[in-house]
Amino acid sequence: MKYATDFSFVQKHLADPPYWSSERILSWSDVYNRTAESFISHSYWTETGSLNVFRVVGTDHPDYIGKTWLEFLQKGKRMSNNLRLLEKNPDYYLEPYKRNPRMVFTTLDGLNYYVSSDGIHRTCLARFFLFERDMSQLHDLTISHYKVDELFLETYLRLFELVRSLRLHVDLSPEKTALSREDTAGWKIDSFETCLVWRDDNGVSRFSKDDAVEKRLELEIKALDAGDKASRIRNYFLRQEEPS
């Protein structure tokens, strides 16, 4: 059995590692989770996208998060097989190619990309292989770009904290609704609208982003008043305990 470190391609990069090879592979879940998903305002998907492989910073695969690219080049579970395929067909990384399985990527900002579901080994090889050739682009990729309403998300998270800290009998949750889709062959853009569902003893209310911001301000003031009252009570009892 031939291991990844037996290939001359790997040995060459171990002897002279690229400057970026010590960067660690980041976790997609650190920047995107189920809560963030509820606050997507737009989602763009294409199956014929291109990207700069040196802007791929992470993955959703738990086995490889935290490894450096150089460590992964040596120890990736399917790296040996992909190295053999690279030797047989280097054009796979140089030209637009019908990839099967697809190489799938996600991004929130169009700057930092994460490997999703398939392609982490090939992405790693592409970084080292294209670096040798002063190239950067891979083509015919499946890419999803999610636009998250960060202000609305942050407002919801703070409201959730305030509801708990003030011990309100409230159930608060986001609700996302699909608004529209634009598409032709090979791409689509979906638009969504999010509201916050507020359930209390008086019934159910739905808050837009502006409504949620106003509600947050109301509860922030209430929390300050509660904190000030608690501070006055605490100081009163401390004074009672002081020796006369």
- Report the percentage of the chain scoring pLDDT > 70: 93
> What pTM does this model have?
0.87
Q: Is the pLDDT confidence value at 213 over 80?
A: yes
DSSP 49-65: EEEEGGGEEEES-TTTT
The model's pLDDT over 39-61, given as tens digits with 9 standing for 90+, comes to 999 999 999 999 999 999 999 99
* Whole-number Å distance between alpha carbons of 51 and 58: 14
**What pLDDT is attached to residue 230?**
46
**What pLDDT is attached to residue 100?**
85
DSSP 173-187: EEEEEEEEEEEETTE
The pLDDT confidence band at residue 233, using thresholds 50, 70 and 90, is very low
Q: Are 58 and 10 within 8 A, CB to CB? A: no
Q: Is the pLDDT confidence value at 137 over 60?
A: yes
Among candidate residues 180, 99, 113, 179, the one with its CA nearest the CA of residue 146: 113
Give the bridge partners for 114, in sequence order: 58, 106
| Number of continuous H segments (helices) and E segments (strands) in the chain | 7, 9
Q: Is the pLDDT confidence value at 240 over 70?
A: no
